[in-house]
Structure 1
Amino acid sequence: MDANFWHQKWQNNEIGFHLAEANPLLVKHIEQLQLATGSRVFLPLCGKTRDIAWLLANGLHVVGAELSELAVQQLFEDLAITAEVTDHGNLKHYQGKNIELWVGDIFTLTKQQLGPVDAIYDRAALVALPLEVRKRYSAHLTTITNTAAQLLICFQYDQQLVAGPPFSISDEEVQQHYEEKYNVALLEKVAVEGGLKGLCPATESVFLLSRS
């Protein structure tokens, strides 16, 4: 799996992972992050998620990273926000009122480019990556965000029945990725209505990662 896989998904509009509304688990648990109005929340591999509109409507500043420029363009169209676009080497920066998105490979995004963030909301990044990349990603995310608090949502299901992404990530794996830098607390585990892609039973797990 490489960048072309995701570019093709967006080009072909094969975005079954895109929800029409804000994720109910975000709405329910965001208060755990204790964010003040205007806080900067980082969404890695954000796509054009409706979570962004919800966060903006609730007075937060959204910073995102996304591989697909098409997804980012569609997001700004959906939000009816005109973006100021600038080039930064291998990355592009889309900016509007209370929102900025970095387009390109998240592994080339630096701490200096990202700037300080108050929290991370990861609903779509960790679960989108194969195991060997998840290890690299979790370390990179921790570095560029200065170990900001994190609300993390993962899927769990029988990976032998359905091929990811989204990939199945166990509670134990979450601990392995983050326990050195965070206190990891499981907030809730809920069944996925209709199962994963309608093919097998699955659950969503919500974790709060706070600095240890």
Structure 2
Amino acid sequence: MEASFWHQKWERGEIAFHQSEANPFLLAHFEKLNLAKNSRVFLPLCGKTRDFACLLAGGYRVVGAELSELAVNELFKELGLEPNISTAGKLTRYSAKDIDILAGDIFDVSAELLGAISAIYDRAALVALPSGIRERYTSHLMNISGTAPQLLITYEYDQRLMDGPPFSVTENEVRWHYEAAYRLRPVESKNIADKLKGKVAATETAWLLQNANK
């Protein structure tokens, strides 16, 4: 999937994937990661999610990675913050109190540019990527984060009935990507009431991924 696909989505306002409120699974299960307040949380492929406001209000610091600078600018506008903008390698860093966003290709985010983080919240990253990229993404995410614990949200549905994104990611696939490094626990699963994008029956699942070596 080319970067132009996502740039065009944002430019055309085709962002049905954007949720106007904080994700219910975040509200219900994030505390299970047992993070201290002021911990730094990474949101990959973050868009302008309202989950940032929720995490900031909860006393956490946040860092995101997002391809679209349009989305990043809209995020800061909605948060009522004026970012400081600087160059970070191939990326552009937008910063304000307790928030950093790296704008550009997620695969250009290094551990050094990301900085120390305590956890990952992946609501819309893994499911946004086609199958051919997901292995590269999960490996990269573990490398740059030091295998930080995660709250991961996935969808599962009959991929033959609808093209992604979001793509269907099965339990077996989650385990294939992550079981060697994490203890995996599905903490909640629910059927999407009005079908995914109003088209297909789908199940949404929240996973806790805890480092297997800690």
Shorter-chain TM-score bucket reads: over 0.9
Trace 1:6-155 onto structure 2 (pairs within 5 A): 6-155=6-155
| Segment drifting more, 184-193 vs 98-107 | 184-193
Q: Which runs of 5+ in 2 are unaligned?
A: none
Q: CA deviation at 1:89?
A: 3.2
Q: Which runs of 4+ in 1 moved over 2 A?
A: none
Contact 2:126–2:134 (Cα < 8 Å) also in 1? yes
Q: For residues 168-201 of structure 1, give each alpha carbon's deviation from its aligned partner in whole angstroms, at most 9, with x where no partner exists.
A: 0000000000011111111111111200110111
Give distance in 2, aligned partners of 1:26 and 1:66.
19
Identical counterparts, % of pairs: 53
Amino acid at match of 1:166: P
| Segment drifting more, 89-98 vs 3-12 | 89-98
Q: Matched residue pairs, number?
A: 212
Secondary structure of 1:36's partner?
coil
Q: Which runs of 5+ in 1 are unaligned?
A: none
Give distance in 2, aligned partners of 1:198 and 1:3.
26
Give distance in 1, aligned partners of 2:97 and 2:26.
22
Within the alignment, does 1:208 sit opposite 2:208 as a pair? yes
Give distance in 2, aligned partners of 1:128 and 1:77.
24
Aligned to 2:167: 167
* Alignment root-mean-square deviation, CA: 0.6
Amino acid at match of 1:162: M
When normalised by structure 1's length, the TM-score is: 0.99
Q: For residues 82-120 of structure 1, give each alpha carbon's deviation from its aligned partner in whole angstroms, at most 9, with x where no partner exists.
A: 100001232000000100000000101100110110000
When normalised by structure 2's length, the TM-score is: 0.98
